[in-house]
Chain A
Amino acid sequence: NAGVTQTPKFQVLKTGQSMTLQCAQDMNHEYMSWYRQDPGMGLRLIHYSVGAGITDQGEVPNGYNVSRSTTEDFPLRLLSAAPSQTSVYFCASSYRPGTVPNYGYTFGSGTRLTVV
């Protein structure tokens, strides 16, 4: 099924460990983003990309790194995990605005990360 695939679904890390959250989409979307969701705070943008080779920071980028070598993949790297990074992480993708009538973001099912 077409969509946004995130792996893993659950992860427990120890403080200081690093890991990569994977995100892949098969809809040929140009735009991809990473959000974190914390209780009562909605979703906050970590990093985003408007095309392969182009990335930029969002609202809460510290402690995270991204790259976009292909249109399909947009991995999120935690460099040195901290308890404050305990959250649910969502990857999303969309067409470039104006290219299709209803281009809204499609979200993956999320990765629940706990840092102990």
Chain B
Amino acid sequence: QQQVKQSPQSLIVQKGGISIINCAYENTAFDYFPWYQQFPGKGPALLIAIRPDVSEKKEGRFTISFNKSAKQFSLHIMDSQPGDSATYFCAASFEAAGNKLTFGGGTRVLVKP
């Protein structure tokens, strides 16, 4: 049972464009929603995270939008750069139950110069 569904699987965007990645979750007990960035041969690195009491969080060029009623959240990468080319994973966890992360399947983003 896949509790966090991520789309699209891959994405090609021109330099300066906007990359949008969507995730949907099933478990309403989830209360922490991080995004991770992974480069080839490296471990995932925390990019930005949000909790359900906030509808939007922005850090630099990265923005999370959160829709609690729809059980959906998304990552927007503004002014995409070639250095943003990586695989992005959304995740969800229930902090009081060991904070175990449930990951989406990942989105491979390619930013063309």
Contact = CB atoms under 8 A, between A and B. Distances in A.
Interface stretch (A62-70, A72-80, A104-112): A104-112
Contacts, number: 62
B105 A42 contact: yes
Contacts of B49: 102, 104
B106 A42 contact: yes
A109 B43 contact: yes
Interface residues of A, number: 28
B98 A48 contact: yes
B42 to A, nearest CB: 6
Contacts of A94: 99
B24 to A, nearest CB: 14
18 contacts: A33-B100, A35-B103, A42-B103, A42-B104, A42-B105, A43-B101, A45-B100, A48-B98, A50-B98, A58-B100, A90-B44, A92-B101, A97-B32, A97-B96, A98-B95, A104-B34, A107-B36, A107-B45
Interface of A: 4, 31, 33, 35, 40-45, 48, 50, 56, 58-59, 90, 92, 94, 97-98, 102, 104-110
